[in-house]
Amino acid sequence: MIFTSDNWAGVHPKIFTAMEAANKGLQGAYGADGTSAKAGALFDEIFERKVKVFFVTTGGAANGLALSALVPPFGAVLCHEVSHVQMDEAGLPELYTGGAKLLPMAGAGGKMTVAAIDEVMRVYGTPMVHHVQPRALSLTQATEYGTAYTADEIGALAEAARGHGLRVHMDGARFSNAVARLGCKPADITWRAGVDVLSFGATKNGAMAAEAVVFFDETLAHEFEWRQKRAGHLWSKARFLAAQWVGFLEDDLWLDLARMANGQARKLADGLKALPSVTIEQDVDINEVFVAMDDALATHLRAAGGAFYDWVYPGDLWQGRLRRLVTSYATSDKEIEDFIAVASKL
């Protein structure tokens, strides 16, 4: 009954197999190998266009490096107040951008709004010397509240951003889950909707440690390899990073895994919402369920072996009762059923 995080799951066997397949003989280092080439081609394919892709091992690295390509040190990035770049990377974007400022905004369900963007730009948008200069908007798909933007929502935000002279970055740590939920093409919610750079995460969806920085506007990738290198994020045995992507993307494994994870969250939410002492607080679009739950029930569940985190976000609407439950491709029906059963007994 572990619902702590999707990063508690292991590596999917198919991905492991792909890594083993790459372990053949001597091969060129730093990406000059066949597996890296193959992974690159798979990205072109699933995004229906030529893209420029760089592989790293953490979502933080992907986000920070991507943003460093978009904003100068005296620049700023608009983001949601609960976004990972703002809350969960211990200042990583600031390190990699050389000190750019994040300008957080509120928004229901973890989603940014055009109105909030306009308000930040009203305050910071003039090119006066005293202000940091906003140059990018970073949106998270799926969001940190487990909701997914529709393609139209992203298009509207990107259009607003562009109207203010901002480039658009998407933090896609759970991009797979969003695509699975929306049933769309990856292109529909990225470059076709106005996204310039995507941090595409595989780690939370079955890989070992595999994140990709995907540039749709290749001019932004200028000299990016030095940014990657000087951050210590260029692997010598790069084939093993690329191999994870091969295993992940081939035969739509990534979508299968995301659908499984999403489906288990749906089941979990359906079971929980029937309980009088639990309320589902956000749309369950992906593999996360945000609920309000009393301490008594939380304690009861934990005593029975349930594991999940109390969740803390700005705006204490829930008076300490917010809990996050995350499923993964490895979550079994039994775990969910047992959890609901235990909860029902209180």
233 binds its own copies (CB under 8 A): yes
Stretch 296-315 residues interacting with its own copies (CB under 8 A):
312-314
150 binds its own copies (CB under 8 A): no
Count Cα atoms within 13 angstroms, Cβ side, for 341. 9
Stretch 166-195 residues interacting with its own copies (CB under 8 A):
none
Given the rule CB under 8 A, which of 9-17, 251-259, 264-272, 280-288 is the region that contacts its own copies? 9-17
Separation between Cα atoms, residue 237 and residue 30, nearest integer Å? 6
Stretch 58-97 residues interacting with its own copies (CB under 8 A):
58, 60-62, 64-65, 72-76, 87-92, 94-96
Q: Which of 46, 78, 100, 340 binds its own copies (CB under 8 A)?
A: 100
Under 8 Å CB-to-CB from 231, ≥6 apart: which residues? 61, 64, 65, 96
Separation between Cα atoms, residue 99 and residue 163, nearest integer Å? 25
Residue 49 Cβ vs its own copies, minimum distance, rounded to whole Å: 25
Given the rule CB under 8 A, which of 41-49, 55-63, 153-161, 264-272 is the region that contacts its own copies? 55-63
Asked if 277 and 297 touch (Cβ cutoff 8 Å), the reply is yes
Residue 165 Cβ vs its own copies, minimum distance, rounded to whole Å: 13
Asked if 128 and 159 touch (Cβ cutoff 8 Å), the reply is no
Q: Which of 38, 52, 80, 101 binds its own copies (CB under 8 A)?
A: 101
Q: Which is nearer to its own copies, 225 or 294 (CB)?
A: 225
Structure tokens of 288? 């996360």
Q: Give me the amino acid identity at 273.
A: K
Q: Which is nearer to its own copies, 48 or 225 (CB)?
A: 225
Q: Which of 46, 70, 77, 102 binds its own copies (CB under 8 A)?
A: 102
DSSP for 265-279 reads HHHHHHHHHTSTTEE
Cα 273 to Cα 3, 96, 309: the distances in Å are 16, 42, 18
Structure tokens of 294? 């009393």
Under 8 Å CB-to-CB from 314, ≥6 apart: which residues? 81, 82, 106
Asked if 300 and 277 touch (Cβ cutoff 8 Å), the reply is no
Q: Which is nearer to its own copies, 60 or 109 (CB)?
A: 60
295 binds its own copies (CB under 8 A): no
334 binds its own copies (CB under 8 A): no
164 binds its own copies (CB under 8 A): no
Query: Nearest to residue 57, comparing CAs of 235, 248, 254, 257?
Result: 235
Q: Which is nearer to its own copies, 39 or 189 (CB)?
A: 39
Cα 161 to Cα 21, 85, 125, 132: the distances in Å are 43, 18, 11, 16
Given the rule CB under 8 A, which of 124-132, 188-196, 246-254, 269-277 is the region that contacts its own copies? 124-132
Q: Which of 183, 219, 223, 334 binds its own copies (CB under 8 A)?
A: 223
Q: Which is nearer to its own copies, 22 or 249 (CB)?
A: 22
Stretch 191-220 residues interacting with its own copies (CB under 8 A):
203-204, 208-209
**What 3-state class would DSSP assign to 120?**
helix
257 binds its own copies (CB under 8 A): no
Q: Which is nearer to its own copies, 49 or 305 (CB)?
A: 305
Query: CA torsion sign, 209 to 178 to 155 to 157?
Result: negative
* Length of the chain (residues): 346
Residues contacting its own copies: total by CB under 8 A? 82
Residue 99 Cβ vs its own copies, minimum distance, rounded to whole Å: 4
- Indicate the pairing of strand 133-140 with strand 101-105: unpaired
